[in-house]
A and B are shown apart, each in its own frame.
Chain A
């Protein structure tokens, strides 16, 4: 059970978001939904010609799931900033799990804030795991009016 946001302290772990498998169909549909039509994510002929073994997932698909860790827990209206570094590519058909942990509680302009470290991890079809995104979010932690 994670702490309520008002009382949250460094070390508190946020509930993980389990996205499941990132199929080719999902990549094609995400390309349409997001507007990122780069063929490296949807056309295996193009990906192989570019020297990749196959298509790989849009980094922003994983960042969208990473953001859910924060918005599910804190509420979207509390999010001040969200950032991510992309550490490794996500091969097609990998499974994705995202999680987060409160790393700092601080005051800014008299309002309590929390800094949350975020991490996306995948398991590929060979069973190999990898950290793919390392992110951070800042959320307002005051009680609702």
Chain B
């Protein structure tokens, strides 16, 4: 391939390709949704006030579309607290070189305060780009609710700047 020497500079642990994490639980708290929404400037009361959410036809405070990433990062932290590697540690992320490439959510249902969710992440593939200047990790995570089933699929690519 002629790129071997450059590829060897990568940080991602390519041998983890195909691995799938065990489900990790996350309890969705109303205060966390409200705090997250305030930080993205989302002040719609359905995200802050249970009565307003119910008046709008929802069973409770609604998580906003990108709250899935909170569920994902917090289950990573829960894994580390339990002495297991988070997905970022597992694939060998170097935080000084890490960039976000792409993020996608496919919604099968909404997330509400009070939900107990579980996350499983699959390490789909690794890829080299720009002649070895960048390396990519492709991840896919599923967020499940114990009764409502699959609520969100996260598809993500993470990038290391290698030069």
> Do A83 and B103 have beta carbons less than 8 Å apart?
yes
Determine if B39 is an interface residue (Cβ-Cβ < 8 Å): yes
Give the residue of A50, A79, A82, A83 whose beta carbon is less than 8 angstroms from that of B96.
Answer: A50
One digit per residue, 1 when the CB lies within 8 angstroms of any chain B CB and 0 when it does not, for chain A 62-106 equals 011101101110001101111111100100000000000000000
Kindly state the separation between the CA atoms of A71 and B36 in the bound complex, as whole angstroms. 15
Known: A35-B77, A61-B39. A67 touches B66 (CB 8 A): yes
Give the residue of B36, B74, B99, B155 whose beta carbon is less than 8 angstroms from that of A89.
Answer: B99
> Do A40 and B96 have beta carbons less than 8 Å apart?
yes
Chain A residues contacting B36 (CB-CB under 8 Å) are: 33-34, 64
Determine if B40 is an interface residue (Cβ-Cβ < 8 Å): yes
- Which of A17, A60, A70 gathers the greatest number of chain B CB atoms within 10 Å? A60
Quote the shortest CB–CB distance from A52 to chain B (angstroms).
Answer: 9
> Do B39 and A38 have beta carbons less than 8 Å apart?
no
Chain B residues contacting A33 (CB-CB under 8 Å) are: 32, 35-36, 38-39, 70
Quote the shortest CB–CB distance from B29 to chain A (angstroms).
Answer: 12
The tally of residues in A whose CB lies under 8 Å from a CB in B reads 40
Chain A residues contacting B46 (CB-CB under 8 Å) are: 76
Give the residue of A17, A50, A67, A85 whose beta carbon is less than 8 angstroms from that of B65.
Answer: A67
Give the residue of B65, B101, B107 whose beta carbon is less than 8 angstroms from that of A86.
Answer: B101
Known: A36-B69, A38-B98. A82 touches B105 (CB 8 A): yes
Chain A residues contacting B73 (CB-CB under 8 Å) are: 34-36
Nearest to A59 among chain B residues (CB) is B100
> Do B40 and A81 have beta carbons less than 8 Å apart?
no
Quote the shortest CB–CB distance from A72 to chain B (angstroms).
Answer: 8
Kindly state the separation between the CA atoms of A51 and B76 in the bound complex, as whole angstroms. 27
Chain A residues contacting B13 (CB-CB under 8 Å) are: none
Determine if B42 is an interface residue (Cβ-Cβ < 8 Å): yes
> Do A84 and B107 have beta carbons less than 8 Å apart?
no
One digit per residue, 1 when the CB lies within 8 angstroms of any chain A CB and 0 when it does not, for chain B 36-57 equals 1011111010100000000000
> Do B105 and A81 have beta carbons less than 8 Å apart?
yes
Known: A34-B69, A39-B95. A60 touches B107 (CB 8 A): no
Determine if B6 is an interface residue (Cβ-Cβ < 8 Å): no
Quote the shortest CB–CB distance from A143 to chain B (angstroms).
Answer: 15
8 contacts between A and B (CB under 8 A): A35-B70, A38-B98, A64-B42, A64-B64, A65-B41, A83-B103, A85-B101, A86-B103
The residues of A with any CB-CB pair to B shorter than 8 Å are 17, 19-20, 26, 29-30, 32-36, 38-40, 46, 49-51, 59-61, 63-65, 67-68, 70-72, 76-77, 79-86, 89
A-B pairs with lowest CB-CB distance, top 8: A35-B73, A64-B40, A50-B96, A83-B104, A67-B65, A59-B100, A33-B39, A33-B36
